[in-house]
Chains A and B, each alone.
Chain A
Amino acid sequence: MKDVNVLMVGVGGHGVILASDGMAEIGMVNGYDVKKTDSLGMAQRGGSVVSHVRWGRKVFSPLIEKGEVDFLLGFEQLEAARWASYLKPNGVAIIADLTVIPISAVVGDVPYPGWDAVKDILSRYTGETYLVPATEIAQEVGNPRAVNMAMLGFLSAFLELPAEGWTDTMRRRLPPKFMETSVAAFLKAAEAARSVMQTKENKL
């Protein structure tokens, strides 16, 4: 049973909290001690969302210590860059193809960083960054809100828990209306992760 520290970052409306709640529940069901906490910063009002999820034998601090994040799940690219320094030296950055430009970047002096700039910042902390076609996958399964499930699916390929360990709990928790498309997004992203891990072609 390996300890896992996952930092999920994004902005309100992308399902970060649902994803981190789900991941915490899944960890508990599968026998881990679990803690998860959010820093909301008034997220519904345009601020950033940060969720810490920890699985382990015994978890003390709900906050992951800076420099101890195994997996950075960036639901939005600017937020991923902002939290890159929390990664472990050999941590993994998993970033969605999503950008939300804040008003300060529209009218202020500091522009929104493009993907190249985000990649450059991430590369200061990790050699392993993946760009996930999460919105594409969500479109393909016919549920645009399944971006968060695609992100969890991609992450799952890196962890020891088998896919059923995730999807069984998801099937119990999700409303029937979205269940099949959510599970489909999860499995599709997991498959995508496994293929890029083998070929390393998408590793940036």
Chain B
Amino acid sequence: MKQLLSGNEAIALGAYHAGMAVATAYPGTPSTEILENIARMDGVYAEWSINEKVALEVGLGSAYSGARTLVSMKHVGLNVAADPFFAASTTGIIGGMVIISCDDPGEHSSQGEQDNRYFARFAKVPMIEPTDSQEAYDLMGLAFEISEQFDTPVLFRSTTRISHCKAVVDVTKERKADLNKAGFKRWPEKFVMVPSNARVRRVAMEERIARLQEYVEDFPLNEMILADRKIGVISNGVAYQYAREVFKDASHLKLTTIYPLPVELIRRFAGEVERLIVIEELDPYIEDEVRKLGIAVEGKSFIPIIGELTPEIVENAAAAAGIIDASAATRIDAEAPPLPARRPQLCAGCPHVATEYTLRKIGIRTSNPDEEIHKGELIVTSDIGCYTLGVYPPLAALDTCACMGASIGQALGLEKAGVSNKIVAVIGDSTFMHSGITGLIDVVYNQGTITVIILDNHTTAMTGHQGHPGTGISARGEMAQSVDIEALVKGIGIADVNAVDAFDMKAIESAIKRCIANEEPSVIIVRGQCPLATKKKGTPFEVDADTCSGCLICLDIGCPAITIVDGFADIDADACTGCGVCAQVCPQDSISEMTR
């Protein structure tokens, strides 16, 4: 039956049909929809784990039992999960284990770009990668088979453009009827990695790679298409699709086994063509391996190493390098007048706005980073989530954002290095659960005095409103035990714990001022629900045209519902959620709830 499936939907369905019994994940673009789809399937245990490391550890336990297990995450999630990932490579598995890494070339929604193909070679774990949804579906069954046949986790790579592309899939299978039975058999030589056992497993890992090297040479989904022999193109992932469009008449070698690469197949293909090129996104992973075989090859000498590829990037690069006719190159834009940018911004009614506005106000901040740091100015370390958008003007409230959970450690580091400023760390509730807790324990243990603001919007908003341990809602939408953040931080040893309403600016300001003056570590939990999640709308606010002075201070909160009409503020009643934050900043008291 033909179905239109995104790469992520195809991955989920392929795993379901392959007999997956357990699935774990932490949400992260572009991987999130994999577990969201699995959570709706019968007969599979699916969980949002607290973070990727735990997701992989839960997956490993499950795979030890014999159950077929899937773990999914975004590219940077695998950094978090690297420790158990390497451990899984060492012990191997019993039931098939497939780990999905969704890379994000171009950083559509990520703090960094990285090519996770190297993780496979690094950990000595086989990697496969589809070029479209059909292959995502078909490869999943093979991935579980490889895992069990070679006693190894399998790394399954996707990228944004595969995960978030819908394509026609011929769904040929049904769910495997004979699921592996879960049961644990003691086997310390395999499961207990004391050095004496680990050394034995280390040898098994190398033998495994040697056997895999033979296996991939005949892999059914690597494909050699011989046409015009003047140019031969090796490609993988979505780059294969661009290569087929740009080099229409050339010969092609499509690779889906990324580690190990089928070296004999590559040699054969190279022997068939006059000029060999590699079209791949991000790093010259395949190109370097081909060159190591002593084969002349070109790739990153003309294809960009940075960012996501597009058909026109490949075409223009190939034309500039003289590989295709220059007349085929995409035309250069006619000179157009500049257009205003449309940057992502915090939504109307967002519970983060009042806090970020207040931090900027207390911090005597300017949006000019070249100005000398004023003594006494607040430093605001930040984290990964919607609130990171507060770095943009007009809020311009944040000073750092590195990776999940980093805000708290960074704040402590600044303090311990001896900066004289007051320091506040800002972190969302889901990110705090993910990896903020350990940072806060470090603050307590090492007697830091920073203030941590936990922006509790009761969801994982940025990735589309998934549950987390603070919400009390499971991945399947069922009630779960919820973690009480106040009790948690008190239990860690924070004495100064405050909870304030996210839309009460006076309360937020007084809590922050008191806490940063306090010579002990403190936590402020700012509570307010995400309006996109609750879909609730209060009475909209309006501007009194008679008293509005046109000072436009209300624009400083960056609310998309507020605009300027004839020099005065104006509120779009359809967009306004009635949060009332603008009314609290208006010096003229000109903004109030609509009366009619």
- Give the number of residue pairs across the A-B interface with Cβ within 8 Å: 138
- B206-214, B270-278, B344-352, B445-453: which lies at the A interface? B344-352
A116 to B165, CA, bound (A): 35
Q: Which residue of B lies closest to A120 (CB)?
A: B337
B394 within 8 A of A: yes
B166/A102 in contact, CB under 8 A: no
- Which listed segment binds B: A35-43, A132-140, A154-162? A35-43
Report if A165 contacts B (CB, 8 A): no
Q: Which residues of B contact A42 (CB under 8 A)?
A: 109, 344, 389, 462
B341's partner among A64, A104, A124, A125 (CB-CB below 8 A) is A104
Residue of B nearest to A42 (CB): B344
In the complex, how many angstroms separate the beta carbon of A41 from the nearest chain B beta carbon?
6
- Given A61-B241, A61-B245, A102-B343, also A85-B108 (CB < 8 A): no
Q: Separation in Å of the A141 CB from the closest CB of chain B?
A: 19
B329-347 contacts to A, CB under 8 A, are 330-331, 333-334, 336-347
In the bound assembly, the distance between CA atoms of A24 and B346 in angstroms comes to 31
Contact A41 B168, beta carbon cutoff 8 Å: no
Interface contact B345-A65, CB-CB below 8 Å: no
Chain A residue at smallest Cβ distance from B167? A35
A residues touching B (Cβ–Cβ < 8 Å)?
11, 21, 24-25, 28, 33-48, 59-68, 78-79, 81-82, 84-85, 101-108, 110-113, 117, 121, 124-125
CA distance A106 to B557 in the complex (A): 13
**Is the CB–CB distance between B336 and A79 below 8 Å?**
no
Q: How far is the CA of A28 from the CA of B340 in the complex (A)?
A: 37
State whether A82 and B339 are in contact (beta carbons under 8 Å apart), knowing that A36-B165, A45-B386, A103-B345 are contacts in the complex: yes
> Chain B interface (Cβ within 8 Å of chain A)?
2, 4, 108-109, 132, 161, 164-168, 238, 241-242, 244-245, 310-312, 315, 330-331, 333-334, 336-347, 386, 389, 393-394, 462, 532, 555, 558, 560, 563-564
Q: Is the CB of B312 within 8 A of A103?
A: no
Q: Cβ of B343: which chain A residues have Cβ within 8 Å of it?
A: 46-47, 102-104
Please state if B334 and A125 are interface contacts (CB–CB under 8 Å): yes
Interchain nearest-CB distance for A115 vs B (Å):
14
Rounded to whole Å, the gap between the CB of B286 and the closest CB of chain A is: 19
Question: Are A33's CB and B168's CB within 8 A?
Answer: yes
| Complex: A113 Cα to B555 Cα, angstroms | 21
B330 touches A66 (CB 8 A): yes
Q: Are A78 and B330 in contact (CB under 8 A)?
A: no
**CB-based contact B394/A107 at 8 Å:** yes
Q: Is the CB of A36 within 8 A of B344?
A: no
Complex contact B161–A103 (CB within 8 A): no
Q: Are A34 and B4 in contact (CB under 8 A)?
A: yes
B334 neighbours in A (Cβ, 8 Å): 85, 124-125
- Contacts A60-B245, A61-B311, A65-B311 given; indicate if A28 touches B168 (C-beta within 8 A): yes
Contact A48–B4 (Cβ < 8 Å): no
Find out whether the CB atom of A63 lies under 8 angstroms from the CB atom of B161.
yes
Distance in angstroms between the alpha carbons of A46 and B532 in the assembled complex: 12
Most buried by A among B245, B339, B532, B560: B339
- Residues of chain A with a CB closer than 8 A to B345's CB: 45-46, 103
Of B310, B312, B339, B389, the residue contacting A45 (CB under 8 A) is B389
B333: A residues at CB distance < 8 A: 85
- The CB with the most chain B CB atoms within 10 A, among A21, A59, A105, A107, is that of A107
A68 to B560, CA, bound (A): 34
CA of A28 to CA of B4, assembled, Å: 7
CB A103 to nearest CB in B, in angstroms, measures 6
A45 touching B346, Cβ below 8 Å:
yes
* B17–chain A nearest beta-carbon distance, Å: 20
In the complex formed, the residue of B with least CB distance to A47 is: B344
Q: Shortest distance in angstroms between B25's beta carbon and chain A's nearest beta carbon?
A: 20
In the complex, which of the residues B167, B312, B331 contacts A62, with contact meaning CB atoms closer than 8 Å?
Answer: B167
CB-CB nearest in chain B for A40: B108
Chain A residue contacts of B161, Cβ below 8 A: 37, 62-63
Complex-state Cα separation, A111 to B564, whole angstroms = 12
How long is the Cα–Cα vector from A34 to B4 in the complex, in angstroms? 8
* Chain A, Cβ-Cβ closest to B109: A42
A25–B166 alpha-carbon span in the complex (Å): 9
Does B165 lie within 8 Å of A37, measured CB to CB?
yes
Inter-chain contacts of B344 with A (CB < 8 A): 41-43, 45-47
The distance in angstroms between the C-alpha atoms of A38 and B161, with both chains bound, is 9
Query: Which residues of chain B have C-beta atoms less than 8 A from A101's C-beta?
Result: 563
Please name all residues of chain A whose beta carbon is closer than 8 Å to the beta carbon of B339 when the two chains form the complex: 78, 81-82, 110, 113
Check A41 against B108 for contact (C-beta < 8 Å): yes
Task: Name the residue of chain B whose CB is nearest to the CB of A84.
Answer: B336
Least distance between A12 CB and chain B CB atoms (Å): 9
Q: Decide: A39 and B167 in contact? CB cutoff 8 A.
A: no
Does A46 contact B165, Cβ atoms closer than 8 Å? no
Write out the residue numbers on chain B whose beta carbons fall within 8 Å of the beta carbon of A81.
336, 339
Please give me the residue from chain B that is nearest to A46 by CB atom. Answer: B345
B4 touches A25 (CB 8 A): yes
List the 8 closest A-B pairs by CB distance, nearest first.
Answer: A105-B340, A42-B344, A65-B311, A37-B165, A62-B165, A47-B344, A45-B344, A66-B312
